[in-house]
Amino acid sequence: MSAFLLWCALLASSPVGDTGAGEETPVVPAPGMAPEAEGPLPVPAPGPPMPSAPEARPVSQEPEQAGEALSTETGEPAEPDQAPEPPVAGTTVRAARPARSASEVTLDREILKSAPRTGAVDLLRLVPGLVVSQHGGEGKAHQLFLRGFDALHGQDVELNVGGLPVNEVSHVHALGYADMNFLIPEVVRELRVTEGSYRAFQGDFAVAGTVRVELGLEEPGVLLAGTVGQYGQRRLVAAVRPGENAETFAAVELGEGRGFGPRRGFGKASLLAQAATELETGAGAVRVRALAGSYTTRFDTPGVVREDDVLAGRQDFYAAPLGRQGGSAVRHQLLLGLELPGSEGHRTVLEVFGVVTDLRLRNNFTGFRGDERGDGLEQTHDGRTLGVRLEHRRRFSAWGREVAGEFGLGARRDGAEQTQRRYRESDGTFFAEEVDANFVQTDVWGYAEAQVPLGRWRLLLGGRADALGVNVFDALAFRDPRYYDGRGYSRSAFGVHTGAKAGLELSLTERWRLFASYGDGFRSPQARSLAEGERTPFVSVRGAELGARREGERLALQVSLFGSQVEDDFFFDHTVGTTVFTGETLRAGATVALQARPWEGVTAALSATGAHARVTATDTLLPYFAPLVARADVGWEREFRLWGTAGEVFAGTGLTLLGPRPLPFDEYSRTVFLADVQVGVRRGVLGLRLEAKNLLDARWRDGEFVYGSRMDPSAPASLVPSRHFTAGTPRTASLTLEVHL
């Protein structure tokens, strides 16, 4: 970590980070450290692009003061002796929500292309400090770890795709369940990350942070891509962008494979389509956007393997000792949005959305420990979400100063039917019902945030309030076979969560800024856990951060120290299907993130995060969190011309380092180091790309757990804890042919 910090400091002081106006090296757009690009402004009609020319990226930072000139490429204030250049053809000039904490970062398309990206797991691993585990197979939501939090399948990380929420409230498998497998990497334009809970727009499950995925297709025309690889991997992507607006596209993905070991097969289909345009009215241009998607999958899950069985030769490292695990998932989604015209510095966006999901999942983590027939659980969750969101930003005068304000209102209604049954391992039939319930959960919220300039200082003040109402019907409550009239129970609960947001910013130079941030985050409760008339017990998180950031055309650097406190924390133990309350927990750590373009054609995104998490009452480490996470993505590309046709060659790598994670009973997981690489060439309309994941063929464990189990029903019953794991992907190579028309 110290060597990494020293290297970052040397780069920050190097003159290569500041290209003068008279140099011949072309200016490269800034690495986009501020999230939330917003409504487009009119630009000149673009001409036809070269086949290999990358599309210019949108402006990533809005002016902090009215009348301040912006560079059209970096979004930073223009130098006094340098007038802003006109927009490049094909560029969408935007005003963006400015970064107001040290840990906000944008990962653009150039960085996304630097290493193999075949699914959501590859995209999310770019987020500084985020560990993404896929131990549940190709169709189950990933397990996430960030800033000392074991977010399970989404309970502590707010995920959003193009304005559509992904986290599902009160999910039967895990609170905040967020299945991102419907994403098509080719149409992901950028990731906007807000770590911590310091901004007022962050809502439910924004405990460790928020990740928003923005969609768009890089080049106009038609893209056809076919992939074949080891272990029966086959993938086909067809996408079309009819015009110069990257946000208007349609794409479909079909994929299947048998997996690298038993019970790892899958098949899936995903459709994503978005249209954005402007309609002229008497009051000005109204921007209209629609986003739709459908996704379906069927997948197998290998389950876990006991470590002692592998060491004794009774099981293979990639084995799946129990069958019948896996499931299916469906997701349909639609968003309609309007950006209303307003005076300069004002912006109003109205969005309505709906999501329908369906999950059927079978897991058995303990074999036959609890029952001779097997401990397998089948869970189903049929959910529906309807919501509306209004956001308004404006500048106004207060106390003789110009204040940048943001205001938001919204409501979200979730309803679901869910079941949980025990099934026999021998034939898959059910022998016990544990959950048969439905609920309606409504969240209504409002927030306000304002930044006041005080010379070189800027003061951020904000707040958010969420009112949550829940109605539950539990068909199995008070069920007693001796009677006929004591079955089923309905109940309702209501509560309000309020949270404060505050920040202080000091501009040291034109590029360096210091930040101090505070915020209250929250996660909503599991609906079935509430009693009649109970005040909804939100889990509240108080977080603070100190940090610095450097913005620049060639180099952007962030350093932050963070800490958080949860009054009454809990985590869901999926091995036994119960929630474990831990009382107060504390977390602290540090993050360094760097985006650099040191030479023409070279792009690098590096990050390292160290975290510590403990339970106050027992002064013990929380299990499963990630103490050390480091990630490096480096890409290189070079243009050429052959027989009069433009082309490019490219190469890239993505490196991941995970330090040992604490496990129950004072054990630790193993260190993980993974290296993914790609090389490719494109000439004219054809492109060829070779990718290899886990190039060093490391035998790594994607998930490690410690608990009691009995995988062999003939073995003696025992509750002695044992180490279990799910095997990570071995070296896997694939070849992709692309056709650009």
- Which 3 state secondary structure label does DSSP give 303? coil
DSSP string for 725-737: EEEPP--EEEEEE
Extract the tokens encoding 17. 């980070």
Q: How far apart are CA 239 and CA 220, in angstroms?
A: 10
Residue carrying structure tokens 């500048």: 395
Extract the tokens encoding 722. 């044992």
Element (DSSP H or E) covering residue 43? none
> In terms of C-beta density within 10 A (0-12 exposed, 13-18 middle, 19 or more buried), how is residue 344 classed?
exposed
Q: At a CB cut-off of 8 Å and minimum separation 6, what does 675 contact?
A: 653, 654, 655, 694, 695, 696
Closest among 47, 113, 183, 71 to 650, alpha carbons compared: 113
DSSP letter assigned to residue 616: T
pLDDT digits (tens, 9 = 90+) for 91-134: 343 445 678 899 999 999 999 999 999 999 999 999 999 999 98
DSSP string for 254-281: EEEE--SSTT--EEEEEEEEEEEEEEEE
573-581: Cβ within 8 A, 24+ apart: 574/152, 574/173, 574/174, 574/363, 574/365, 575/365, 575/366, 575/705, 575/707, 576/365, 576/366, 576/707, 577/377, 577/420, 579/526, 579/529
Residue 665: what pLDDT?
87
pLDDT digits (tens, 9 = 90+) for 510-530: 999 999 999 999 999 999 989
Extract the tokens encoding 547. 């940090």
Whether residue 55 is predicted with pLDDT greater than 60 in this model: the reply is no
Extract the tokens encoding 321. 């000792």
Element (DSSP H or E) covering residue 65? none
Percentage of the chain lying above the pLDDT 70 cut:
84
DSSP letter assigned to residue 665: G
Whether residue 5 is predicted with pLDDT greater than 80 in this model: the reply is no
pLDDT digits (tens, 9 = 90+) for 366-405: 999 989 999 999 999 999 999 999 999 998 888 788 899 9
> In terms of C-beta density within 10 A (0-12 exposed, 13-18 middle, 19 or more buried), how is residue 296 classed?
middle
Extract the tokens encoding 475. 């068909």
Range from 164-168, 205-209, 577-581 carrying the lowest mean pLDDT: 577-581
Q: How far apart are CA 682 and CA 516, in angstroms?
A: 46
Q: Are 719 and 707 in contact (CB under 8 A)?
A: no
Range from 400-404, 500-504, 683-687 carrying the lowest mean pLDDT: 400-404
Alpha carbon of residue 740 to chain centroid: 29
Span 559-587, average pLDDT: 77
The C-alpha angle with vertex 132 and arms to 31 and 213, in degrees rounded to 5, equals 45
Q: Are 64 and 404 in contact (CB under 8 A)?
A: yes
- R_g (Cα) of the chain, nearest Å: 26
Average of per-residue pLDDT values in the chain: 85
Whether residue 343 is predicted with pLDDT greater than 80 in this model: the reply is no
Residue 485: what pLDDT?
62
Instruction: Look up residue 129 and give its amino acid.
Output: G
Sign of CA dihedral 132, 135, 138, 142: negative
Please report which confidence band the pLDDT of residue 42 belongs to, taking 50, 70 and 90 as the band edges.
Answer: very low
Span 303-328, average pLDDT: 94
DSSP string for 490-517: EEEEEEEEEEEEEEEEEE-SSSEEEEEE
Closest among 657, 591, 583, 659 to 622, alpha carbons compared: 583
pLDDT digits (tens, 9 = 90+) for 236-289: 999 999 999 999 999 999 999 999 999 999 999 999 999 999 988 777 789 999
The pTM for the full model equals: 0.86
Closest among 441, 409, 622 to 538, alpha carbons compared: 441
- Which 3 state secondary structure label does DSSP give 581? strand
